[in-house]
Amino acid sequence: MEFKEGLTFDDVLLVPKYSDITSRSQTDLTTKLSRNLSINIPFVSANMDTVTESSMAGAMARAGGIGIIHRFLTIKEQANEVLKVKRSGSVMIENPYSISADKSIEDALDYAEDKEISGLLVVDSNSKLIGIVTERDLLFANKENKIKDVMTKDVITAKLGVTLEESKEILHKHRIEKLPIVDDSGIVKGLITSKDITNNADFPNASKDGKGRPLVGAAVGVKGDFLERSESLLEAGADVLVVDIAHGHSENAISTVKNIKKAFPNCELIAGNIATAQGAEDLIKAGVDAVKVGVGSGSICITRVITGSGVPQLTAVMDCAKIGNDHGIPIISDGGTRTSGDATKALASGASTVMVGSMLGGTDESPGTVLTKNGKRFKVYRGMASLAASIGRKSKETGSMSLDDDLNDYVAEGVEAMVPYKGTVTDILKQLTGGVRSGLSYCGAHTIPQMQENAEFIKMSRAGFAESQPHDVSLM
């Protein structure tokens, strides 16, 4: 039997090349996420229940990347998370949420909380605008009162076709935050909010769809409801679906890909995870638009410990990227990225994007609360194949929190962990993208494809690795 050598990020360095770059701004991080979808920075937030729901996905898209909403939610909840992203950040929200004047204030509060919005348009049975209620109208009001008792009736509106500049002027002149857009009969056609206008100005690099809405993806499994789930997610506006299975080089994954592509031929579809050239080839033949690579590489993953299987991440990406290149299908390096240096190595070895979990867990935008332990702040970050995540998923499926006996039979391939609280995703991504831009420069490249062409890896010894870390100093 022959042994193949498997290398990962800490085994290699990129050899510095001549560079004509004088400023990081001369580098371009635009890259392909999948066959027909490009993003502006090469980062994707992992479809994990402690990483990506709408808040993370919105922040990722604003920064130029994309987030994949995890699938341990009911179909309705997951589609709602997609909708929330789609409704944030576009200049005009189409089909804004509305309520009828006869509903109670309690109904409005529940609705606004469910949709995570701060106000509702009030319409009659023909969708004609008759008022608006905002947080201020609802706060401290008697919950049994009707909407018509508290709504503002004289609503400032604009006509369809109003420009961004005109909207800003109207919002400013009337000191309002929401501007409903109506047609000649007063029927609601959209909503422009000051928050969305500000977001647009603050995030010029945002990844957007053809309608100017943030890009977002969502994960589906390989069993049970995956076709129904795919349909709801696509209807909600998901730009890309991810078939998510630990062992993606399997009949289960391949038939799921074929079934989704058959039912929704225009759906942009990623599948994974795999770790070999043959795995990539088989998924590509099944019809995927990108392949997600990484078996056992994740920080919370114990697949290699429990099953003995996996491929060190750099070798896995290199092997799969050769096949991806032959077919024009992008590769996503998933798992094991701890630094911008790791991300640069993953991209240089052939990945078009990098999916990250632990680096984004522990931020304001990741689901979960901040915990304090020994005076330090943390957030939970756990594997999707951990016992805790599995209990969470089961409770969604059965609608109860009871722990079935068969959980004792569950063989976890992930661990529950904590990561330090890190502040906002925007700050993390600034460091990550800044590091990758410098990495491009060290490779004498202006773009990611150029870096892939120029890249020369050198294998290092343990001494070389030690020399690469801060050494012989006391860190402050």
Does 390 engage in binding with ligand RVP (CB under 6 A)? Answer: no
User: Would you say 298 or 392 has its CB closer to ligand RVP?
Assistant: 298
User: For residue 427, which of 59, 16, 4 has the smallest C-alpha distance?
Assistant: 59
Is there a binding annotation on residue 131? no
Is there a binding annotation on residue 336? yes
Is there a binding annotation on residue 341? no
Supply the minimum distance, in Å, between the C-beta of residue 303 and ligand RVP. Answer: 6
Does 347 engage in binding with ligand RVP (CB under 6 A)? Answer: no
**DSSP collapsed to 3 states, the chain:** CCCCCCCCHHHEEECCCCCCCCCHHHCECCEEEECCEEECCCEEECCCCCCCCHHHHHHHHHHCCEEEECCCCCHHHHHHHHHHHHHCCCCCECCCCEEECCCEHHHHHHHHHHHCCCEEEEECCCCEEEEEEEHHHHCCCCCCCEHHHHCECCCCCEECCCCHHHHHHHHHHCCCCEEEEECCCCEEEEEEEHHHHHHHHHCCCCCECCCCCECCEEEECCCCCHHHHHHHHHHHCCCEEEEECCCCCCHHHHHHHHHHHHHCCCCCEEEEEECCHHHHHHHHHHCCCEEEECCCCCCCECHHHHHCCCCCHHHHHHHHHHHHHHHCCCEEEECCCCCHHHHHHHHHCCCCEEEECCCCCCECCCCCCCEEECCEEEEEEECCCCHHHHHHHHHHHHCCCCCCHHHHHCCCCECEEEEECCECHHHHHHHHHHHHHHHHHHCCCCEHHHHHHHCCEEECCHHHHHHHCCCCCCCC
Is there a binding annotation on residue 114? no
Burial of 368 (0-12, 13-18, 19+ CB in 10 A): middle
Is there a binding annotation on residue 48? no
Residue 402-431 contact track with ligand RVP, rule CB under 6 A, x = bound: -----------xx-----------------
Stretch that binds ligand RVP, among 9-17, 114-122, 276-284, 335-343 (CB under 6 A): 335-343
Stretch that binds ligand RVP, among 176-184, 218-226, 259-267, 293-301 (CB under 6 A): 293-301
Does 362 engage in binding with ligand RVP (CB under 6 A)? Answer: no
Does 11 engage in binding with ligand RVP (CB under 6 A)? Answer: no
Does 298 engage in binding with ligand RVP (CB under 6 A)? Answer: yes
Q: Rounded distance, CA 204 to CA 63, Å? A: 8
Residue numbers 192-221 binding ligand RVP by CB under 6 A: none
Supply the minimum distance, in Å, between the C-beta of residue 275 and ligand RVP. Answer: 11
301 belongs to the catalytic site: yes
For ligand RVP, the binding residue among 55, 199, 273, 340 (CB under 6 A) is 273
For ligand RVP, the binding residue among 303, 315, 333, 344 (CB under 6 A) is 303
User: Would you say 306 or 460 has its CB closer to ligand RVP?
Assistant: 306
Half-sphere exposure of 236 (CA within 13 A, CB side): 28
CB contact set of 390 (below 8 Å; sequence gap of 6+):
407, 410, 412
User: Would you say 90 or 303 has its CB closer to ligand RVP?
Assistant: 303
For ligand RVP, the binding residue among 384, 429, 432, 455 (CB under 6 A) is 384
* Chain-centre distance for alpha carbon 81: 11
User: Would you say 288 or 355 has its CB closer to ligand RVP?
Assistant: 355
Q: Which residues of 103-124 are buried (b: 16+ CB within 10 A; e: fewer)?
A: bbbebbbeebeeeebebbbbbe
Does 68 engage in binding with ligand RVP (CB under 6 A)? Answer: no
Count CB-CB contacts under 10 A for residue 352.
Answer: 24
For ligand RVP, the binding residue among 336, 341, 350, 439 (CB under 6 A) is 336
Supply the minimum distance, in Å, between the C-beta of residue 181 and ligand RVP. Answer: 39
Is there a binding annotation on residue 207? no
Is there a binding annotation on residue 295? yes
Stretch that binds ligand RVP, among 57-65, 149-157, 263-271, 351-359 (CB under 6 A): 351-359
Does 337 engage in binding with ligand RVP (CB under 6 A)? Answer: yes
Does 158 engage in binding with ligand RVP (CB under 6 A)? Answer: no
Is there a binding annotation on residue 56? no
Does 58 engage in binding with ligand RVP (CB under 6 A)? Answer: no
Does 52 engage in binding with ligand RVP (CB under 6 A)? Answer: no
Does 356 engage in binding with ligand RVP (CB under 6 A)? Answer: yes
Is there a binding annotation on residue 28? no
Residue with smallest beta-carbon separation from ligand RVP: 414
Q: Rounded distance, CA 467 to CA 156, Å? A: 65
Stretch that binds ligand RVP, among 135-143, 191-199, 217-225, 328-336 (CB under 6 A): 328-336
Is there a binding annotation on residue 375? no
Size of the site for ligand RVP (CB under 6 A): 23
Is there a binding annotation on residue 357? yes
Mark the binding-site residues, compressed into ranges.
244-246, 294-296, 298-299, 301, 334-336, 357-358, 381-385, 413, 467-468
Q: Which residues are catalytic?
A: 301
Mark the binding-site residues for K(+), compressed into ranges.
296, 298, 301, 467-468
- Residues contributing to the site for ligand RVP (CB under 6 A): 46, 48, 273, 294, 298-301, 303, 334-337, 355-358, 383-386, 413-414
Mark the binding-site residues for NAD(+), compressed into ranges.
244-246, 294-296
